[in-house]
Structure 1
């Protein structure tokens, strides 16, 4: 089973990652192509596209213009958003990180598909951005540019891993890059996290819970999907009545 999560808008390039050997992203050339295209956008246009403040637009414009010389670090230790608070990568032991390298994947607007130890440079580019290099119509999205490449790569990795099952812990925005092109024969299991007796959806808690479940999978070396209802971190419990075989619900009272 391969678990798939989203990246994060927040980055952490200050804290030193633990000793590890970085790997090269599968789509590093595509990332460079996208970074060059982004470097030609004005700050104003960049701010409009990814809906950020002028200060963040300047930061990211500078990042893209100096992309080739920017520092790299493993993706697992580069992202710092809510999902990664739940994942808490810095407290994983070496064996768990090694398992994650084979069984955890991150979707990325810039890098497409990442393994945890793939070395990445700082960036900000959401998968749902209404922009694509070379698009003159103004109607394309970044997902149009990626097409089926990400899903095909994920399919190849599923074949190598052997289970044929994807645990979808990604947001809808990022899963859209895979959804239409899910490899034939692959099983997809989505997870729905809810809060309280009325089973409310709370985005912040759901993001953190996705990270916690990704951690649980790699710590316990979960390979059989039948074991997934056993997830119980931070008070979450499987709601069998509200679940289906391809969509599991967990509720925290």
Structure 2
């Protein structure tokens, strides 16, 4: 079983752990290639591309200038701890024990607009480059065009026959995986909150729940779809009536 999530805009490279031996991302050369184009972009361009304030654009322009393929430990953090958005608050990796972290190192991958596909131990620097932004570079119209074949082939190479892929990424990031060329069944997820007798999707809770599922799998050594169906953190329960062979629906 493999699990994928999106990265997060919020990052912190001051986090560290003794449970992971740092590694270099599989696609570090590709990331460096993208950065040669990003470094040339002005703060104004970054502000318009990412729809962010001039202050944030200046900050990310500085990040691009400082970025390097082989950062020191002080300049980087393992991907598992570097992202700090809502998914990663649900995952709360810094409180996991060694066996759970080992499980994630084997089974868990993070999609990234800059790095492509990350293992928990891969060293990353501060960056911001969302997969869905209209970033044109070299002969590529966007990041999907650059990454889709590479990421899909890498997942195929890492997965054994019969393994399933738990798709806990957003639609924006999930689109980078070519399902027609992926030789494995993809399992999608939906999370609903019961409010005044009606089931509602609340984005922030959905993001948090995605991280909770990753944590649940790690803490319970989930190996099969049946194992995943037992997910019950923070009041969630499987809705068998709404779930299908390729989609798990959880409500609370």
The TM-score by the shorter chain falls in which range? over 0.9
1:112-151 paired onto structure 2 within 5 Å: 112-135=116-139, 140-151=141-152
Segments of 5+ residues of structure 1 without an aligned counterpart are: none
In 2, Cα distance between equivalents of 1:236 and 1:40: 46
CA distance in structure 2 between the partners assigned to 1:123 and 1:103 by the alignment: 24
Structure 1, residues 143-188: CA drift from partner, whole Å, max 9, x if none?
A: 11223110110111113xx54210000000000100445413x111
Matched, 1:105 2:109: yes
Aligned to 2:223: 223
Q: Secondary structure at the match of 1:226?
A: helix
Quote the Cα distance in structure 2 between the aligned partners of 1:21 and 1:93: 15
Measure, in 2, the Cα distance between the counterparts of 1:250 and 1:134: 42
Cα distance, 1:98 vs structure 2: 1.0
The normalised TM-score by structure 2 is: 0.93
2-structure distance, mates of 1:18, 1:145: 34
Q: C-alpha separation between the residues in 2 aligned to 1:14 and 1:230? A: 34
Structure 2 residue ranges without an equivalent (≥5) = none
| Residue in structure 2 matched with residue 169 of structure 1 by the alignment | 168
Q: Distance in 1 between matches of 2:180 and 2:133?
A: 19
Q: How far, CA to CA, are the matches of 2:79 and 2:219 in structure 1?
A: 18
Distance in 2 (alpha carbons) for counterparts of 1:238 and 1:244: 11
| TM-score, L = length of structure 1 | 0.93
Aligned residues: 246
Mapped contact 1:77–1:90 kept (Cα < 8 A): yes
Q: Is the 8 A contact 1:239 1:250 kept in 2?
A: yes
- What does residue range 151-162 of structure 1 map to in structure 2 within 5 Å? 151-159=152-160, 162=161
Q: Does the CA contact (< 8 Å) of 1:133 and 1:145 recur in 2?
A: no
Checking the alignment, whether the CA contact within 8 Å between 1:64 and 1:123 is kept in structure 2 is yes
Q: CA RMSD in A?
A: 1.5
In 2, Cα distance between equivalents of 1:101 and 1:163: 20
Partner-residue secondary structure (3-state), 2:159:
helix
